[in-house]
Structure formats: C-alpha cells, structure tokens
Amino acid sequence: MAQEIDRQPKKQVKERPAGQCPLYKKCGGCQMQNLSYPEQLRWKQSLVQRLLGKFCHVEPIIGMENPRHYRNKVQAAFGLTRDQKIISGVYQSSTHRIVPVDSCMIEDRKADEIIVTVRSLLKSFKLQPYQEDRGIGFLRHVLVKRGFASGQIMVVLVTSTPIFPAKNRFVEALRKAHPEITTVLMNVNPYRTSLVLGDAEKVLFGPGYIEDTLCGCVFRISAKSFYQINPVQTERLYSKAIEFAGLTGKETVIDAYCGIGTISLIAAKHAGHVIGVELNGDAVRDAIVNAKRNRIENVYFHKADAGAFMEQMAHEGQTADVVFLDPPRAGSDEKFLSSLLVLSPRKVVYISCNPETQERDLQFLRKSGYRVVRIQPVDMFPHTNHVECVVKLCRNDAKE
C-alpha cells in the first residue's frame, strides 16, 4: 500500500510574499506559492527522499532557472457574471466556478494574451459565452498550444454548436491581432460534460496542427494529443531517461505508455529497435506520423493495453533489453509488472509523476530480482505540489 503523505506544505504566510500570484488562494492551481522556489524544491526533494530514499541515493532535484510561464498549453473557460460581463479563466479547484484570469504566472504569456483578445472579440461579434448552468450560449473554452521551439501557435475555439456566425471574419480579426497564430480550429462540444473537448473538429485556418522539437525530434501536436506541458524540463527528463538506459545501438527496447512516441523516437536513435505501446488510438496515430516525419524506421507502435501487450510478448517467448515505462498517475498494474519479470529486461527506466504509486511498484520489482540504482527527481510543474521522478533499475545479475 502506498503510504499516506501530507501533500500540503505547512508554512503559513500572513502577507503575500513579493512575486506571489494575487489569485493564489482563489485559483488553487499552484498549491506551493506560499513557499519561495528554493523552498519548494527542498520540499519536493524531501518528499521523494521520504518515499524513495530507502531504495537508493536520491539525486538533487533538477529545478528550473526561470520557473515562470512554463506551460505551453493554456485552457480558459468562458462564462458570464451575474451582471452579464464576459469572463474567462480557470475553474477554481474542485468546482465549476470560473476565477477570471488575464495573465497567469505559470502559463505562456502569448497564450494568455490571445485568450484576452478572443474575449474582447466575442463582444464585438455579439457572441455569447456558454452558460454551464443553463446549457445556453456559444463559446465554452479556448485552448491555446504553443511550440516553444518552433514558435507555432494553435488556437482551438470550443463551441457548443457547429453554427459559428461570421467565423471567417472572426478568425481574420484574431489573426490580425496575433499574426503569430499558425492554425485555428473549432471544436464542437454540445454535451453537458466537464470534458473540455468534444468529438467534432473543423480547421478554420492553417494545417490544423502545430509542430515542436524536443531532444532533436520533431513532433506533430494536434488539438487532442497529449504533449508534455513543460518542454524545457521535459528535455531534461528525457535526456536523463536516455542516459539511464545506457543504450549502445543494438538493444530491443519497449516504451510502455508511450503517448505520441516521444521517448520511443528519441530512444530509437540510440537503440536497435523500439516497440511503443499505448492505449489511446489518436496518440498512436500521432506517434506513427511522428516516426515518419523524423524518418525513423526502427520503431513500431501498437495500440494496446500495456499490461496485456507485455503479457502477450512474454507468452510468445519474446525478450527485451530495456523497458521504459511512463504510466499515468495510478502507476502500473500487476499484469504489466508480472509480464515485465517474464520478459526480464536487463534495465528498466521508470518515469512517474506520482512517487507514491512509483514506490509501490519499485517495492514489487525490488522483491522480484531488480535493484534500484539511480533516482532523479525533476521539477516539471513549479509552484504545484507535483513531482516527477525518473528511476533506473537493473536486473540483479546484470551490470549497470
């Protein structure tokens, strides 16, 4: 069982420290703003030490030089106040109340500016924001994604209906205010749901996707695909993961929970071949496109449950030299971990955004013939209480 831990830093500060966000308490998104950045890093380091320190030495957390405006993906909910003023911002933690935000200290500045422009355009185009309680109105959310390396910008207007009066003029006005926008989409979400995006999508301008470069590979990012939100720290995280794998160019590598194939493609440059496995069909499609886009041919993607896929591989008597796994917060499952033992890779590189479930899984692997040899925390989400760790395990009879 994962141990219960206190996720809220204790320090109480009566006055707002210089530089703290004025929305800190209202928004609730950045739980650690009552601490300075060096204090946050110390808190995260000690959390990882407490949970994973028993396995091996924990290396000093990799923090950001500039821990602000790091989010490359920004989502704003639109609504109306009681006095009919249009607002846009974030939902207050665990509620559906919108906290108005014009500029957020962890979001990309340009994205925030674009959202403010959309809000002012709504008024001039006489378009109404969606009213969740009444199920009426037009614009529900605006999603902006920016490729930090490429400079490309995607704007997704999430509407409640496919009927968008004067859409060409609207897009024209938006592009006039922000010529750096490279694509605009409309996503229709007519459902009474808390999910942001609906199924139907229409490209209003540009190619309908953006591209960005990470660790020397170019990735196509569509409105719905998962892409790490802090590219500066992601490069550091993945570089560590590749370093831990110690690839020589000959290995058979599995990248489990591979998303759009980021780790797979980066690893493929250093390995014999890579097999990526991922449950989400859209992500697998993006991964295949990304492999082609980068002319990487020694990588194969499969749409499957990672545990079931590993079980099948083990059943067929296949082997692997290195397994990367980067599961969702809930961690891996027993099916996956037991099949991992049958495949018996020499090395396992386990990336996790939840040290509690990671501790549980590492415990299991340690009892089953693996030793933990490196633990590297990375601060992927400054000002929040999330910590990411990359851990290297070696089979007990294998050299590091």
Question: Cα separation of 210 and 64, whole Å?
Answer: 25
Cβ-proximal residue to ligand SAH, closest one: 259
Closest CA to 258 of 308, 361, 328: 328
Residue 357 burial class via C-beta count within 10 angstroms: exposed 0-12, middle 13-18, buried 19 and up? middle
Residue 322 engages ligand SAH in binding (rule: CB under 6 A): no
Residue 163 burial class via C-beta count within 10 angstroms: exposed 0-12, middle 13-18, buried 19 and up? exposed
In this complex, which beta carbon is closest to ligand SAH, that of residue 139 or of residue 242? 242
Question: Cα separation of 152 and 138, whole Å?
Answer: 27
Q: How far is CA 208 from the centre of its chain?
A: 20
Which token pair is 297? 């041919």
Min. distance of Cβ 355 from ligand SAH in angstroms?
A: 16
Contact mark string toward ligand SAH, 76..95, x via CB under 6 A: --------------------
**Which range of residues in 25-33, 114-122, 163-171, 278-286 is near ligand SAH by CB under 6 A?**
278-286
Phi (first) and psi of residue 280, to 5 degrees: -80, 115
Residue 280 engages ligand SAH in binding (rule: CB under 6 A): yes
* Contacting ligand SAH within 282-301 (CB under 6 A): 283
Residue 130 engages ligand SAH in binding (rule: CB under 6 A): no
In this complex, which beta carbon is closest to ligand SAH, that of residue 125 or of residue 226? 226
**Which range of residues in 21-29, 75-83, 271-279, 315-323 is near ligand SAH by CB under 6 A?**
271-279
Question: Cα separation of 15 and 27, whole Å?
Answer: 17
Q: For the chain, what is the total number of helices (H) and then of strands (E)?
A: 10, 16
Which token pair is 221? 């990012």
Residue 17 burial class via C-beta count within 10 angstroms: exposed 0-12, middle 13-18, buried 19 and up? exposed
Question: Cα separation of 120 and 90, whole Å?
Answer: 17
Residue 379 engages ligand SAH in binding (rule: CB under 6 A): no
Q: Which residues are catalytic?
A: 353
Strand ranges in 40-152 using DSSP code E only, listed in sequence order: 73-80, 86-91, 98-100, 139-146
Residue 257 engages ligand SAH in binding (rule: CB under 6 A): yes
Min. distance of Cβ 47 from ligand SAH in angstroms?
A: 21
Min. distance of Cβ 4 from ligand SAH in angstroms?
A: 25
Min. distance of Cβ 172 from ligand SAH in angstroms?
A: 34
Residue 306 engages ligand SAH in binding (rule: CB under 6 A): yes
Min. distance of Cβ 173 from ligand SAH in angstroms?
A: 34
Choose which of 159, 228, 294, 339 interacts with ligand SAH (CB under 6 A).
228
Whether the CA torsion 378, 380, 386, 390 is positive or negative: it is: negative
Choose which of 108, 132, 251, 326 interacts with ligand SAH (CB under 6 A).
326
Kind plus residue range of the DSSP H or E element containing 253:
strand 252-256
**Which range of residues in 78-86, 160-168, 277-285, 288-296 is near ligand SAH by CB under 6 A?**
277-285
Number of residues that bind ligand SAH (CB under 6 A): 16
Asked if 158 and 193 count as a contact pair (C-beta separation under 8 A), the reply is: no
Task: Give start and end residues of each alpha helix (H) in 322-354.
Answer: 334-343
**Which range of residues in 64-72, 239-247, 253-261, 357-365 is near ligand SAH by CB under 6 A?**
253-261
Contact mark string toward ligand SAH, 160..199, x via CB under 6 A: ----------------------------------------
Choose which of 43, 125, 205, 226 interacts with ligand SAH (CB under 6 A).
226
Question: Cα separation of 311 and 320, whole Å?
Answer: 13
Q: Which residues bind ligand SAH (CB under 6 A)?
A: 226, 228, 257-259, 262-263, 277-280, 283, 305-306, 326, 328
